[in-house]
Structure 1
Amino acid sequence: MKRFVLSVLFVLFSSSVFADSFPAYSNLSPAMRACISKKAGRDVLAKLESGLDPGDSSGAVKADKFYAHCLLKLNEKLPEEVGFYAGPYFDAMSQIDEKVRMGRAIERVREAGVDKLALFARSRKKLGQNERAVLRLAADNNDLIILGAPKYFRHKKDIGNSYSSAMLKGIEKHGYKFVGEILYTHGDKKSGASYASGERYTDPSLPGTDRFLSRLEEKNIPLMTHFEVYAPDRDFHRFHDLYERWPGQIFIIPHMAFGSPQQVDEFLSRHDNVYMTMSKKAVKMDNFRDSDKLAMTGSAMLVGLSLKPEWLEILIKHQDRILAATDAHMKKLWSEYPTHVFLSRVVLGQLPKEVAQKIAYKNAERVYGVKIQ
């Protein structure tokens, strides 16, 4: 019966997608056309205006991001035919360090109409780096910020005891609501550090993770486990095993691991204790240095600002365990913060109202134990 209901919803809410055109691009103002064309290219824009998928060129995969940027910059209105969710919004994942003007970043969050922000410090050089600054930021914005334990960049093959002890002490002292992401697998990005191996890699099957979880589980707060789908034969069984070994622990996978709808369905169907954020999935994340890794990642949710039917089905099926999020972290992404919230709201606006509300804020309220007032 449940599968039948999902199928009916899938038909009802996908009927307008990919009909003959992309409504967002069907009647652009001259200013919008000029702005998008400058960034995405005339050929890409011409295809979108004709209702055609522009493909995977550099401009094409970012065309919807450019659309959002131009719309906000020019203060134009989204066509009524394009769904848009304007309700409460809980950004379930963001991170910050000393390279970002923290006060200005929070101003952008408020300008974007975000009600709650799950935030953690980025400790790139040593344990505890930027932790005090983020604690002060949270104290100054206690109506907005929900704090997580800091993210540490210097894990080797395994999780060390010093990291585990620091996180557990921080949870006790500061009341962190979650543990910021552990970078288990992270392919080199054009905008970040590069390694001879082409990735950062920490093995979740080694003893350090289990030692940490044996002490974390009783805290009853989620752990963000960052991995990416580019090495499924090596990694998938290790993460399946991890989530099965700790059924009482809540795990959050950022960015849906950059996976396909089928891969997202595989993990969420198999593990009741796993949640995923939809950060960086509205448009294609094409920042991998290695083209082979990029080719292994899943599709974007949007094309022409229209939600793809295969993603619509996944969002409805797993509506209780998907979290809206931006994962703003570097200076550039914080400067683009309103654009990413806008795109997230476009995705949510093409879902049934009850589903959109769960993903936009209700699931995060439940996971973090914090209510939007």
Structure 2
Amino acid sequence: MVTRALTAIRLGLCAVALLLAALDHGRAQSQTDPLEIFDAHLHYNQEPTPLYSLDQVLEIFRRNNVTGILATSRPNKGTHQLMETRAPDLWVVPFIRPYRTRPDIQTWFNDPTIFDLVKSEYERGGYRGVGEFHIYGKSAASEWVRKIVDFAVERNLYLHAHCDEEALLILFSHNPKAKIIWAHTGFTTPPARVAQLLATYPDLWGELSYRSGITDRDGKLTEEWRSLFARHSDRFLIGSDTWINERWFAYDGLMKGYRAWLAQLPRDQAVRIANGNARRLFGKVVN
């Protein structure tokens, strides 16, 4: 009887040891597995034709473990094509871009035909936002910008705004219920001010493409940005901004750069910024 009891205890201890080893392996693996990335600033522009075929674009995403994209293209044909791929390993979140050609960047905010474009594109279905659009200073105060902001709020759409702080504040003044993803997070706006804006506007998110100063010359996160992420890791997204061919050439390096500083954050913060916030904002079901 004693021998049987000792044997049972030994077997039980072995089972516990195996379970703990499995858990340790899982924890270690979770720290080394490459993060899934949601590219929250992706253009598949079509002027006159894209540099890469859709198959080439999908391969770029796969080798970088990019499993979701915020698609916004000039004209919107590029976004239509990404939506129609139905790639099983790619989640496409389409936004309406208020541009037909590049010159529209300079005039869209005073052009009533752009509002018609936004409305007609929305009728295609599936869109989750409007942008990326460029707007600076008091240009954001135009009647047509206000109409687009109200249009987005009424339909629960996000706005992806490439703007300075003055324009950002005007966009919120048009409608305090606006939900804004701030492309490049202001470029020159310092982290302390970004923190103030995030605290003031709960429906503001920062998107970090082209955002310099996050790391120092040695590639280490600055203390200001580390502190900002510690407080607001639920408010940031990352993106490639493939607005020109050179950004497609550099895509692997861009994702490698993001991974380098994300690896310096606690795992939960890194996951939120890499893909978790996009899943939460746009409703992706996590199995």
The aligned residue for residue 88 of structure 1 is 36
Structure 2 residue runs of 5 or longer lacking an equivalent are: 1-30
The Cα shift of 1:202 comes to 7.2
1:174 corresponds to: 125
**Any conservation in 2 of the 1:319–1:358 contact (CA below 8 Å)?**
yes
Q: CA RMSD in A?
A: 2.3
Query: Is residue 59 of structure 2 the alignment partner of residue 112 of structure 1?
Result: no
Equivalent residues in 2 for 1:226-245 (5 A)?
A: 226-228=162-164, 236-245=165-174
Deviations 1:223-265 (A, max 9, x none): 111114xxxxxxx344224224422221011111213212322
Task: Give me the whole-angstrom Cα distance separating, in 1, the residues matched to 2:32 and 2:63.
Answer: 17
- Decide which structure has greater helix share: 2
Percent identity over the alignment? 21
Following TM superposition, the consecutive aligned residue runs of length 4 or more in structure 1 with deviations greater than 3 angstroms are none
Q: Deviations over 1:44-64 (max 9, x none)?
A: xxxxxxxxxxxxxxxxxxxxx
Whether the 8 Å contact between 2:98 and 2:117 is mirrored in structure 1 is no
1:111-153 alpha-carbon deviations (Å, 9 max, x no partner): 1111111111123xxxxxxx33431233124431222212414
Q: Aligned-pair distance for 1:99?
A: 4.0
Q: 1:13 maps to which residue?
A: none
Q: Which residue of 2 aligns with 1:332?
A: 246
> Which letter maps to 1:150?
R
Question: Residue 148 of structure 1 aligns to a residue in which SS?
Answer: strand
Alignment of 1:40-79 (within 5 A): none
The equivalent residue for 1:247 is: 176
Give 1:78's aligned residue.
none
Give the counterpart letter for 1:327 in structure 2: D
Bigger Cα Rg: 2
Higher RCO (CA < 8 A, seq sep 6+):
1
Q: In the alignment, which of 245, 254, 267 is matched to residue 353 of structure 1?
A: 267
Task: Count residues with an aligned counterpart.
Answer: 246
TM-score between the two structures when normalised by the length of structure 1: 0.61
Query: Would the aligned equivalents of 1:184 and 1:226 in 2 still touch at CA under 8 Å?
Result: yes
Give distance in 2, aligned partners of 1:219 and 1:163: 17
* Residue of 91, 96, 112 corresponding to 1:149: 96
Determine if contact 1:90/1:116 at 8 Å carries over to the other structure: yes
Identify the residue that residue 84 of structure 2 maps to in structure 1: 139
Specify the SS of the correspondent of 2:36.
coil
Secondary structure of residue in 1 paired with 2:279? helix
CA deviation digits over 1:87-127, x for unaligned, max 9? 2221111112124214223321211111111111123xxxx
Give 1:207's match in structure 2, choosing from 119, 138, 143: 143
The structural deviation recorded for 1:221 is 1.6
Distance, in Å, in 2 between the alignment partners of 1:321 and 1:329 is 24
Task: Give me the TM-score of the superposition, normalised by structure 2.
Answer: 0.77
Letter in 1 for 2:38: F
* Alignment check: 8 A CA contact 1:222 1:250 kept: yes
SS in 2 for 1:179: strand
